[in-house]
Amino acid sequence: MVLEATIICIDNSDHVRNSDYLPTRLQAEADAINLLAGAKTQSNPENSVGVLSLAGSVPKVLVTPTDDLGQVLNSVHGISTEGAVNFSTGIQVAHLALKHRQNKHQRMRIVLFIGSPINTEHGELIAVGKKLKKCNVAVDVVSFGDVQKNAEKLSAFIEAVSKNGNSNLVTVPPGEILADVLLNTPIFLDEDSCNHGSGFAAAAAAAAGQVALQGFNSTAGVNGEDDPALLMALRVSLEEERARQEAQAQTATDVNAPPTDTKVLTATIISDEEERTISPSSIGADSVLSDSVLLQQAFALSVEDTFHDDSVQDACVNEAEFKNDHRQANLHASEGKEKEAEDTQNKGDR
């Protein structure tokens, strides 16, 4: 998995109040950022995500790179619109935040959401892009809203910053849903081809949670515009529940593996005197013995063995008693003969 530290730059200028992306540009942008942050953190547990606002008097780092998804969601939810976007300054502040990341082994990446006109000069954009390229910083740009006005500048910026194809430009036309369009773009996928499934799986899980949440909204009466924090909490809860159910299903599949193709169950009991073979004739060849039937057979065999042992023990006792009686009879007979011999000798002496 790719180990990355990502700063997501959100456009919170006055232009994102427009409703050409439902419900508004800002809300559509926030939903896409939430999905992207979830995909980044789920693709690798050691990934970190931060959030920076581009508009206002100066760009502000709302959350430094962290692996706590809750902080990212709260920062996006509490953002407000003001002023215009300062493109070049925002990128440099994001780069500075990435330089102070805790894990220096993480690759650096900046994701820009641009939904308003860029006032920065063409040459300045190229200079900033070359500086980021020299520092091995990858940049992804999501252009929406004023797409045609920013197309030339953003294309030149991506061309200047791209190194071995590590940077991407995604254009979302008006009327489209940002989150749905981004799901099938390299922004949601890992850079390594062998790990392409991990980032997409996380994003797909988030999308599935969003679809399920739409059905929940219709039945429970939850309005995302009135309480977006509750909506996001429900979405995260649905994602976690879905992942837990998939893990349980996989565990159950591994445990309940198909048994061997044994058609008839045969119990063989070998004793000192004989060999007995018991086959359940009442059960068909293709049927499976139930637990109750097996218990009954085991009990019957146990009773039979106990009866056999008792019979042998009784026979041994009877034989010992017979030998004892025979020995006592012989003893009495010999005593009688000795007494008779003594009586005969006494008569002869007389």
- Give residue-wise pLDDT tens across range 120-151: 999 999 999 999 999 999 999 999 988 899 99
Mean pLDDT of 207-229: 50
Burial 250-259 (b: 16+ CB within 10 A, else e): eeeeeeeeee
Rounded Cα gap, residues 292 and 316, in angstroms: 36
pLDDT more than 70, % of the chain: 59
Rounded Cα gap, residues 58 and 12, in angstroms: 12
The tokens describing 293, both together, are 């039937």
Q: Does the model's pTM come out above 0.75?
A: no
Q: What is the pLDDT of residues 4-46, one digit of tens each?
A: 999 999 999 999 999 889 889 999 999 999 999 999 998 888 9
Where does the chain show beta strands of DSSP type E? Answer: 4-10, 48-53, 60-66, 107-114, 137-144, 168-172, 267-270, 275-278
